[in-house]
Structures are given as structure tokens and as C-alpha cells.
Amino acid sequence: MIINTNKMNEKNELLEIYKIHVELIDRVSQRRGTLNQFYISLLSGLIGIIAFTVKDNALGKYEKTTFMVVGLLGIIISILWIAQIHSYKQINSAKFKVIDKIEEKLVFPFFREEWMVLKSKKRYNTLTNLEKIAPVILLILFVILFIYSFINH
């Protein structure tokens, strides 16, 4: 029996590319989680500034300005966070399209099958949709704070 070494080498190379690509997807997901933690910390700090300001009227006549600046910063940071979540979604989508192409040449299309199982669920929420909940809520709160800085003072 003659074994075609070119075909074997091609399959091995394809499998190695597949493994590397799966590892890259994992790294992107880890960076995505780190990014979410960063934004949560940053926006929590802004909320802390508001708590300090409100407590015992700590900033007196500068309270309105503080609310306005913190509200505006919170709005900008929340929008950036949402945009970066969307960007990570695009990166992962592209990577999974490449994985799908590679899986066409492999024995078992693991990720394609996993996706089909998820899609068959009646109520599947994508990670991206769930991730956007926190920045959208915070965006709304910072918009309210920004508007409040003009109305109440």
C-alpha cells in the first residue's frame, strides 16, 4: 500500500493551522474579558466620584461641573466600550468563518456542529448581546447624570 506523503503533510499542516487558529480565538476571548474588566473599573471609578461628590455636598459649587464632566466622560467611555465589544464580535466572526473553511477539510467539523446545537435552542443569547447590557445601562445612567447637571442646578 502506497501512502501519499504529500496528502498526509497537507492534512498535518491543516490541522496545525486549525489548532493555532483555535488558540488565537481563545486569546481574543481573554483580551475581550480583560477589556470588559477595564471598562467596569473605569466606570466604577466615575460612579465613585459621584458618590464622593454627593456625600456631604463635598464639592459645593463645583458639584454641577463635576456631574457634567463625569456624565460626559461616562457617556464617551460607555460608547467606546460598546464599540469595542462590537469590534471583538467582528474579529471572532471572521475567525470562525476561517475555522469553518478549515473544518470542511477535516473529519469532524467541531465548531460548526457546536454552532448548530446553539442555534437549535429556542432562546440563545449571544455573548455579544449579553456583554452590551452593562455598558448600555451605564450609558443611560451617565446620560441621565449629564442631563441632571443642567436641569437641577
pLDDT tens by residue, 64-95: 888 899 999 999 999 999 999 999 999 988 98
C-alpha span between 139 and 120 (Å, rounded): 33
C-alpha span between 35 and 29 (Å, rounded): 10
Residue 62 DSSP one-character state: G
**Rounded average pLDDT over 92-106:** 88
Residue 108 has pLDDT above 90, yes or no: no
C-alpha span between 153 and 141 (Å, rounded): 18
C-alpha span between 130 and 3 (Å, rounded): 50
Whether the predicted model's global pTM rises above the 0.85 cut = no
**pLDDT at res. 137:** 96
Place of cell 474579558: 33
C-alpha span between 35 and 28 (Å, rounded): 10
Q: Are 99 and 84 in contact (CB under 8 A)?
A: no
| 137, burial (CB in 10 Å: exposed 0-12, middle 13-18, buried 19+) | exposed
Q: Give, in order, the Cα–Cα distances in Å from 129 to each of 4, 23, 117, 136.
A: 47, 23, 18, 11
**pLDDT at res. 55:** 74
